[in-house]
Amino acid sequence: MKEFGNKLNSPTASGIRIMRMCVLIPAKDERLGIGKTLSSVLAAGAPPEDVYVMDDGSSDGTGDIARSHGVNVLVNEKNIGKGRSIQRAARHWSLTANYDVICLMDADTEVNENYFHACVAGFDAKVAAVCGRALSVPHNWLTAYRSLAYWISHAIYKGGQSSMGVITVAPGCAASFRADVFAQLDWNTDTIVEDMDCTIQIHRRKLGKIIYQPKALVYTQDPSNLRSYIKQMYRWDVGAWQVGKKYRMASGITRVDFEYKLLMGEGIIFATIFLLIPLWLLLWPFRVGLLVGGEFLFQLGLSMVCALCDRRKDVVLSSLAFPLLRFVDCGIFVTAFWRVMVQRQQIHTWFAVKRY
């Protein structure tokens, strides 16, 4: 991919090294999304010979659609899971030996035309991974709420985490890895969030910096109904607690450990308080009512700013339903904490969002 070349610190006389970049897309029954994903990847400048689709036992013709775009396709006869599929694809095609950067993305993701250039611009000799910015594809009130969540992550968290070196998740829909770093990652199945697991591995093994590149935009499909939303959030929250438990982040003393403790500790305290609002209203209706009203106005303000920044008027139009989803989020978060950290359940259930 010569067009993805970038000036890097290099021992060569010219000081310029061309980065060889590939795209790896694991897919399972992604007939509705894989075509749009590949079209966007190719339109962004990726040559078909450098795009690899790992079909994990699909039964809906996902692999055939991928082949029609002229890209490389490998098929698992039986479903073996996302992590193992990624490992098999990298080994089968010798990706870590043939490329400098491996761009990993989901099969429901569409990339901005400047995505790969933005990713390359983020790399230098000390950077292990670059994560892009996810935007939710507009569909209904649930995707409007997710759009707000993504915007808050972008506007408040990701930039600061990147500057401090404490990014906790390089999302699977928009993460690019230096090939030598990718080769050292264990795509384990003992947690159900492989992207967060690998992110913490990079921190633990001191493989390099993880940076946020807000110009590397991807558009991803989010759950379109409440049942799917709950299942996805449950997997994410369970996985976050699993990763923290696996790497003993609650007792760790590195910067990313403190960031994890701050996020998860604040989350469990806020969720518990929020779920008890009906009780607080019974005890102190006027005072608590004022606080609830203030919190709603604050969230409405955030929704308006998000709508302006991302040109998503549906975020404001759907904002009356957001308090309900806050209760749902809090309930899921506390439930995940209870089952993983208190009951010590071993949870390996994987849920795939239904495409539309």
pTM recorded for the entire structure: 0.92
> Domain end: 190, 224, 258, which one?
224
Question: What is the enclosing helix (H) or strand (E) of 23?
Answer: strand 21-27
- pLDDT over threshold 70, residue 12: no
Predicted pLDDT of residue 354:
79
- Residue 97 inside a domain? The answer is yes
Task: Note down the domain range covering 284.
Answer: 245-342
pLDDT at 279 (0 to 100): 95
pLDDT in tens, 30-67: 999 999 999 999 999 999 999 999 999 999 999 999 99
Give 212-221 pLDDT, tens digit per residue.
999 999 999 9
Per-residue pLDDT, 274: 96
Look at residue 353 in the predicted model and tell me its pLDDT.
Answer: 78
Report the pLDDT value the prediction gives residue 4, as an integer from 0 to 100.
Answer: 45
Task: Please state, for a pLDDT cut of 70, what percent of the chain lies above it.
Answer: 95
d(CA 149, CA 145) in angstroms, rounded, equals: 6
- What one-character-per-residue DSSP string does 95-118 give? HHHH-SEEEE--TTEEE-TTHHHH
Q: How many CA within 13 A on the CB side of residue 94?
A: 2
Average pLDDT, the chain: 93
What was the pLDDT predicted at 8? Answer: 37
Average pLDDT of the segment spanning 257-268: 98
Answer whether residue 98 is part of any domain: yes
Q: Is residue 356 part of a domain?
A: no
What count of other Cβ atoms lies within 10 Å of the Cβ of residue 311? 9
Burial-class residue 132 by CB neighbours within 10 Å (0-12, 13-18, 19+). Answer: buried
Checking if the pLDDT of 170 tops 70, the result is: yes
Is 261 inside any structural domain? Answer: yes
Is residue 7's pLDDT more than 70? no
Where do the H-state alpha helices sit in the chain?
34-43, 62-67, 82-92, 95-98, 115-122, 141-152, 159-164, 179-182, 194-204, 226-246, 255-275, 277-283, 285-310, 313-317, 322-337
Q: Could you tell me if 95 and 132 lie in one domain? A: yes
Q: Count of domains in the chain?
A: 2
pLDDT of residue 2: 45
Q: What is the pLDDT of residue 188?
A: 77
Any bridge partners for residue 27, and if so which?
55
Residue 338: pLDDT above 70?
A: yes
User: Cβ distance 111 to 92 under 8 Å?
Assistant: no
| Same domain assignment for residues 220 and 116 | yes
Is the domain of 191 the same as that of 267? no
293 pLDDT higher than 60: yes
218 and 323 share a domain?
Answer: no
Say if residue 292's pLDDT is above 50: yes
**The two structure tokens encoding residue 305:** 């700013």
Are both 154 and 18 inside the same structural domain? yes
What proportion of the chain, given as a percentage, has pLDDT over 90? Answer: 90
Structure confidence at residue 19 as a pLDDT band (50, 70, 90): confident
> Are the beta carbons of 221 and 142 closer than 8 angstroms?
no
Tell me, what's the pLDDT at 16? 54
